[in-house]
Amino acid sequence: MSEKPRPRILMIYTGGTIGMKENPVTKALEPFDFNHLLDNVPKLKMLDYDISHHQFHTPIDSSDMNPRHWGQIVKVIDDNYDNFDGFVVLHGTDTMAYTASALSFMLQNLSKPVIITGSQLPIGEVRTDGEENLITALQIAAARDTDGRPTVREVAILFENYLWRGNRSTKRSADNFDAFRSNNYPELAKIGLGISFNKEALWRSKSSSPQLEVHYDMDTNLLCLDLFPGMRECMVRHILNTPGLKAVVLKTFGAGNAPAEPWFSEAIRDAVNKGIIVVNITQCPNGEVDPYRYMTGLELAQTGVVPGHDLTFEAAITKLMYLLGKGLNTDEVKRLMQYNLCGEMS
């Protein structure tokens, strides 16, 4: 009888609290190196997996994360795609949801798990959440369906008791161990005594043998305009006249509403007429933009603003970077912003 091969997992360590250590002089947490992390999780040896690792040359606090780093992660996954069954990315929590969203677009046709995790307390601390998060992330990356295919075939965030779709996730707490949520999509798995996958929620490609397609160019000529009562025309116009601006994520009230004052509609219309893509998402953590519900939302749609439906802010920003980076024309970007590419919108 042939034995089942041991799952081969590649861990990619980018930095973040999970691998940080207190600086004895400043007392601030600083990124440390990967060996320190392995020394602190002897239990890893109890998993019957072949675990290899790749470490960022200089581990970073994830507040320093940028599209060049995303490209590095994508390259490591692409170079090692055929040699591993799954990938675990260790990452700071602050920008984890942005990285998860970006990777979901940059790794098109993914058919293996890319599980991103980190922790709120460094792994060397007694009450750390890092050890459990790391071990569970590895177990999820190694999980197989009865036909031998990976259970998870997408980018996901594992944190505390849940596995969330990467491009649906948001960091919701700066100090709670249960730090992430996906407000518009159910969990992919719930972690209790066992790991209980929510099979209906998992992403399944329409193609039976998807070929990984990697994409590196992320165009960052975009901005966010977060509405609040009392916004001044000169400031809104200043933002919309930023040289080189190609797209704006407009964070609106409720179901996608904005002030009906003529100067506001005019400023937005001028931007749209200049070819700037304006995408409407709601400031509410839960729910979606419905441009036909209120007059104030309808007016925006009539000026050519694209409804972003229930996209998270992180997904809206990174999806625009990805589509603009592909060099598509404005109409095509607008069309695809309303089309579900990899589970990012309902």
Shortest CB 345 distance to ligand ASP, Å: 26
> In degrees, to the nearest 5, what angle opens at C-alpha 20 toward C-alphas 80 and 194?
65
Residues 176-195 within binding reach of ligand ASP (CB under 6 A): none
Q: Is 14 helix (H, G, I), strand (E, B) or coil?
A: strand
Q: Which of 271, 252, 322 is nearest to 104 (CA)?
A: 322
Site string for ligand ASP, 85-104 (x = CB under 6 A): -------xxx----------
Instruction: Pick the stretch among 14-22, 41-49, 149-157, 320-328 that binds ligand ASP (CB under 6 A).
Output: 14-22
17 is catalytic: yes
**Residue number, 20 or 225, with CB nearest to ligand ASP:** 20
CB atoms within 10 A of CB 266: 13
Piece of 9-17, 67-75, 225-233, 295-303 that binds ligand ASP (CB under 6 A):
9-17
CA pair distance 170, 180, nearest whole angstrom: 6
Of 9, 17, 49, 59, the one binding ligand ASP by CB under 6 A: 17
Assess 2 for contact with ligand ASP (CB under 6 A). Answer: no
Site for ligand ASP contains 62 (CB under 6 A) = yes
CA 182 to CA 169: how far, in whole Å?
Answer: 4
Q: Is 307 one of the binding residues for ligand ASP (CB under 6 A)?
A: no
Distance CA 280, CA 300 (A): 9
Residue 136 near ligand ASP by CB under 6 A: no
Give me the residues paired with residue 12 across strands.
54, 89
Draw the binding track, 105-124, toward ligand ASP (x: CB under 6 A; -: no contact). -------------x-x----
User: Which segment (10-18, 215-223, 253-261, 299-307) binds ligand ASP by CB under 6 A?
Assistant: 10-18
Q: Are 190 and 198 in contact (CB under 8 A)?
A: yes
| CA-to-CA separations, 144 to 5, 7, 113, 216, in angstroms, rounded | 12, 9, 10, 29
- Distance between CA 238 and CA 228 in Å, rounded? 16
Q: Which amino acid is at 119?
A: S
Interface with ligand ASP, residue 314, by CB under 6 A: no
26 sits near ligand ASP (criterion: CB under 6 A): no
Is residue 325 a contact residue for ligand ASP (CB under 6 A)?
no
CB of residue 257 to ligand ASP, shortest distance in Å: 33
Q: Cα–Cα–Cα angle for 312, 75, 132, nearest 5°?
A: 60
Please identify every residue annotated as catalytic. Answer: 17
Point out which residues bind ligand ASP (CB under 6 A): 15-17, 61-63, 92-94, 118, 120
